[in-house]
Structure 1
Amino acid sequence: MKQYKLKNGFCVRYQDLPGERTPLVFLHGLGCASSFEYPAVMAEPALNGRRAILIDLLGAGYSDKPQDFGYSVEEQAANLVEMLSGLHLTELVLFGHSLGGAVAITLATLMQDNIRCLILTESNLDPSPVGATSRKIGSQSENAFLSHGYADLLSRAQKRNPLWGATLASWLPEAAWRISRSAVRGGTPSWRDQLYALPMPRAFIFGALSLPDEDEEVLRQHGIRVDVIPDAGHSMALENPKSLAETIASILNDCRLGN
């Protein structure tokens, strides 16, 4: 585990898995941690020898959890611009999952000259819809979520989805609420419009259990490669890491960034 100290004094912690070629930078979703989800993906033969940087966003996983930080998608992306620039990563492949996908889209917009390829797994593109976990969190007041909402969410997660519950337990509750409020607001311009405008190759991955989804065709119409991971839903990195790794490798080959 390594750390990068931001100018604001907070430390973002990450794993830097050694390898060759353009590094693959992973950003996790709400309640998740890259340090938990993506080592198994990178251990698959399809990605053997590829350098990867697995980042735990501020407020999550092993990274610092300051209570006086805003935790919006835009603030997380600004942190990462500083961090990746400080690490002298002039060329990279960016991977973002779910709400981490919104962070990745925002980051790619800010660092267009450095991102060789953008890979998203069931990323937020629009303000969180009714039924989404971030909508359920962000629709509460911060005080209500901190007083009982987080504990209720964690209890349900640990019973129904224990792997997600394990990483959710590592989150600062304020961070979960504030980034969820950011998800409810959406981006300006929208993350969808930002994605459509990006110049680098882009790919969007669904879990088969999440389909049907009208975006499967809409994204293709906007020049975005679409892939589907079999035997997996939203948590595809945990449910089918082998197929996810093989799909990432295929995307990299299409972008002429393959092993």
Structure 2
Amino acid sequence: MLAGHRSLLVDLLGHGHGDRPEDFAHMLEAHADALAAVLNAASAEGAQLIAHSMGGAVAIVLAARHPRLVSRPVLVDADLDPLPPAPGAAGSSGIGSYTEEEFRAGGWAGVRDRAGAPWWATIRLTGRTALSRSAVGLVAGTVPTMRELLLGLSIPCGYLLPEAEAPLPVADALEAAGVAVLTVPGCGHTIMLDSPDGFARATATVLAAPDAP
């Protein structure tokens, strides 16, 4: 799928093996600008981005704010609209219902227990400050929303939807705007873990599609 391409694997600040600056805002715009700095430093203009969940929202904002840097986003079950805070829920909507102080003081443990080991394992390397502020960023969303920004992009884009979440309510609007929506069978939100082959095939389909005329 990526043979012959230069590949950069990027952890957002506070996530994975990325640095953990305590003075970083972690809003979607801040993540997008930090990723732009990485791509500029790597001379990676016109990058094809494969981005999952919140990373997909960051990719949309990046493409809107720094269009020179992005040629084709592949959005993997990306967040397209602000998340309503949901006290007592797992995931970003639950995390975003806490203040940062509440989350760091012990709210994180409640989210961990409600989410369960498989989901928590996917974010075990994420700093608690980054988790809290990034979730608040997803609850706030952007203005215009990520979905509106995506609809306004003039580059080829793909959206990979897990079968467990189909149908996508905004699929018709996305496809009318030229966004290819592909449903990946046999998977949930973590498409690349649940169905590696399906993820690879769908991503390859988006990357091989011709540019819009």
Verify the 8 A CA contact 2:85 2:97 in the aligned structure 1.
Answer: no
Q: Does the CA-based 8 Å contact 1:47-1:245 persist in structure 2? A: no
Alignment of 1:5-16 (within 5 A): none
Residue 203 of structure 1, aligned match among 155, 158, 163: 158
CA distance in 1, matches of 2:42, 2:176: 36
Give the match's secondary structure for 1:153. helix
SS of the equivalent of 2:151 reads helix
Letter in 2 for 1:150: W
Q: Does 1:234 align with 2:192?
A: no
Quick one: distance in 2 between partners of 1:90 and 1:223?
22
Q: 1:241: how far off?
A: 1.1
CA distance in 1, matches of 2:185, 2:149: 28
For 1:56-205, list aligned pairs within 5 A. Answer: 56-129=11-84, 133-157=91-115, 160-162=116-118, 164-205=119-160
SS at the partner of 1:127?
coil
Change (3 A) 1:53 1:255: farther
Once superposed, what is the RMSD of the aligned Cα atoms?
1.7
**How high is the sequence identity, in percent, across the aligned residues?**
33
1:82: Cα distance to partner?
1.1
Shift of residue 91, structure 1, vs aligned partner: 2.4
Residue 49 of structure 1: how far off its partner (Å): 4.1
SS at match of 2:32: helix
Q: In structure 1, what is the Cα distance between the partners aligned to 2:3 and 2:35?
A: 25
Paired residues in the alignment total 208
How much does 1:251 deviate? 1.2
CA distance in 2 between counterparts of 1:117 and 1:144 reads 39
For residues 230 and 167 of structure 1, the distance between their equivalents in structure 2, rounded to whole angstroms, comes to 21
- Return the alpha-carbon distance in structure 2 between the equivalents of residues 225 and 212 of structure 1: 14
Given that residues 51 and 75 in structure 2 are in contact (C-alpha distance below 8 angstroms), is that contact kept between their aligned partners in structure 1?
Answer: yes
Per-residue CA deviations over 1:159-204 (Å, capped at 9, x if unaligned) read: x342x32232211111111111111111012111111111110111
Unaligned runs of 5+ in 1: 1-45
Kindly indicate whether the alpha-carbon contact (under 8 Å) linking 1:94 and 1:117 is maintained by their aligned counterparts in 2: yes
Structure 2 length as normaliser, TM-score?
0.90
Shift in CA distance, 64/130, structure 1 to aligned 2, threshold 3 Å: closer
**TM-score, with normalisation over the residues of structure 1?**
0.75
Larger fraction in strand:
1
Q: 1:69 to 1:114 in 2, by over 3 A?
A: closer
Unaligned runs of 5+ in 2: none
Q: Is the 8 A contact 2:48 2:70 kept in 1?
A: yes
